[in-house]
Structures are given as structure tokens and as C-alpha cells.
Amino acid sequence: MTYAQPSHCDGADTVPLMPAWVTAGRPETSEDVAFLSGAALAHLHFAVSQDDVPQALLRARLALSAAEACVVLSGRPERASDLRDALHLIRPGDHPGPAGAIYHQWWTAVTRPISVPVLKRAVPDGLETHVPVWLAAVQGGPVRQAAAVLEAVLADHPTEEASALIMADAALARGVGWSHLMPILAMGLKRRELRLAGADLTTACHSAVTRSSTDALRIAADLTRRAAYLRAVTPKLRAKGASAAVDIFLTRDAAAPAALTSLMSDRAARRLCDRLVDLGAVRELTGRDTFRLYGV
């Protein structure tokens, strides 16, 4: 998923992209694959730890990509725009549908620090009691731990790809030492690779980490530039509650004007969104005249 770079973000290029030697050529052995994934994870860890990187926004954007990948795995037709609608425009008490439920799982998993209670809320009803057992399947380094958890979940529930990938990414994040889950494996693993086991699955996870870490860095660099510009134009906003509204855009992949009405009136929220679009600080994401969503 790529986005145009604002032309007014000079000086915000603080996220170093993946070194070319990590992605150049094809590794010939499983040891090569493991070495490159370790290098990719180390670089990703360093790069996204920079102070200017909007961490919550990055996780939210990656969660959307991970959810879309899981929806594709399930054979459903919904894509990112449909998932955004299902999460951000749903009325209280309504069910988001199967695809929207997958996105809600990822959203739940990334918004709070990793813990057993959070992961229990991120899996469908009836699976929450298995979470501590699945997490106990870990052994070895971070990627091997993630592969072991992935295999354990799919052995119990072969059709629960989203839950399995959430648990695997949680194991990967804990192994690396991240406080929050960062969707990585879900964006890189192919359907056929989810049916592998043992060393073959671990090797597939190493390859997925290298691919997805590179993509995550590109997204992080883009969001960091965009977030820097949004922060820069915030003093130009005169609406009451504008700074708090900006904080919402810096932590969510998308937001409807209604999400800002706890800070200002509905009319003021719509005017603020339009003002931010005019400034080039946020984008209208739907292309619609009504039920609009906005995001960095």
C-alpha cells in the first residue's frame, strides 16, 4: 500500500529504509534466510524507535494491511476501503460482518500493549481460553517462536488464519522486545505457506519477516513525513479542540468527523476536516460526498 508524499515535508526523512543488501538477490540456504530476517528485524526495530515516528498510527496502518491480507486469505472480496467503513462507520450494536470482524480483531490487538487479556479480546469467542496455551508454545528466537505459535493455533483451528497470525505476530513482538504488536507476518506469508510445519514453516516466516519489514519501513517513512507536516500546520488551526483532534489523526488510520464530536460540534468537526484537507495535512479517503473518512 503506497501513498503520495506531501511536497512540504522537507527535513522529516528520519526513517532509514532497509539496506539494499538485505533484499538484494535470493538467499540460497535456510541459514541465509534466517540471517537476513534477523538483519531486517534489527533494522526495523532501530528505525521505528525514532522519536518522530508516529508509532500508534504506524501500527494502525499496518493493522489495516494485515486485516486485508487475512480477508484475502479467507476468500472474501472486501478490501481496505470496505474494512475502514466496517470499523469507523458502524453504528453501536451493529455487527461489522465477517470481514469487518477480522479488522476489528487486528485493531484490538494493536491498540494496547501486548498482554494475555488483550489477546483474548482479539480472538473470537470460544478461543480465548486457548491463548495462554498457544503462547506457551514458544521456543528459540523471535521468528522461531512466532512460527511455533502459528503452527499451534492452526493445528487446533485450521480456518482461523487471522487469529493464528495475530498470535504469531504477538509472539514475534514479545521476542523482539516490543511493547505493542506490530503486524508483520500477516502481510508477508502466503496461503500455501500457512500449511507448512516445523522447519519449513520457520523458514517461510523468516522470508515473510524480511519482505514485510521492508514494506513496513516504507510505510513508516511516509507516515513520519505526513505526521511531521500535520504537526507543523496545527498552530494554524483556530478551532477549539483542534490540537486534540490532530492527536486522533496521529493515532488512527482513519476517522469520521463524528469521532471528533466529543471535542467540538459536528459542524465544527466537518469544517476542521475540510480545513486539514485544504492544507494538505490529511486526506479524504472515500471519495464520497457523504459518510466520509479522513486520515493522514
192, 224, 256: which is the final residue of a domain?
224
Q: Establish if 231 belongs to a structural domain.
A: no
Encode pLDDT of 80-138 as tens digits. 999 999 999 998 889 999 999 999 999 999 999 999 999 999 999 999 999 999 998 77
Based on the fold, state whether residues 191 and 260 are members of the same structural domain. Answer: no
3-state helix, strand, coil in the chain (%, to 5): 60, 0, 35
Q: What is the number of structural domains in the chain?
A: 2
Domain that holds residue 248: 237-295
180, 199, 224: which is the final residue of a domain?
224
pLDDT reported for residue 138: 76
Query: Which segments in the chain show pLDDT lower than 70?
Result: 1-13
The answer to whether 57 touches 219, Cβ cutoff 8 Å, is no
The label of the residue with cell 528520519 reads 14
Q: Establish if 45 belongs to a structural domain.
A: yes
Element (H, E) at 58: helix 55-73
Based on the fold, state whether residues 161 and 250 are members of the same structural domain. Answer: no
Based on the fold, state whether residues 276 and 219 are members of the same structural domain. Answer: no
Based on the fold, state whether residues 52 and 189 are members of the same structural domain. Answer: yes
Q: Establish if 8 belongs to a structural domain.
A: no
Based on the fold, state whether residues 156 and 77 are members of the same structural domain. Answer: yes
The label of the residue with cell 500546520 reads 233
Based on the fold, state whether residues 198 and 282 are members of the same structural domain. Answer: no
In the structure grid, which three cell numbers stand for residue 157, read together?
A: 483451528
Based on the fold, state whether residues 201 and 263 are members of the same structural domain. Answer: no
Q: Establish if 12 belongs to a structural domain.
A: no
The answer to whether 256 touches 36, Cβ cutoff 8 Å, is no
224, 254, 280: which is the final residue of a domain?
224
Helix runs in the chain, H state only? 20-23, 30-48, 55-73, 80-88, 97-111, 116-121, 131-135, 142-156, 161-176, 185-188, 198-233, 242-249, 266-278
pLDDT reported for residue 9: 52
The answer to whether 114 touches 70, Cβ cutoff 8 Å, is no
Based on the fold, state whether residues 56 and 86 are members of the same structural domain. Answer: yes
Based on the fold, state whether residues 211 and 128 are members of the same structural domain. Answer: yes
pLDDT reported for residue 151: 97
The answer to whether 6 touches 180, Cβ cutoff 8 Å, is no
pLDDT reported for residue 115: 97
Q: Establish if 37 belongs to a structural domain.
A: yes
DSSP string for residues in 70-91:
HHHHTT----HHHHHHHHHSPP
Report the C-alpha gap between 191 and 221 in whole angstroms: 28
Based on the fold, state whether residues 245 and 216 are members of the same structural domain. Answer: no
Based on the fold, state whether residues 182 and 282 are members of the same structural domain. Answer: no
Report the C-alpha gap between 123 and 105 in whole angstroms: 6
Based on the fold, state whether residues 243 and 167 are members of the same structural domain. Answer: no
Q: What is the pTM of this model?
A: 0.94
Q: Establish if 146 belongs to a structural domain.
A: yes
Q: Establish if 15 belongs to a structural domain.
A: no
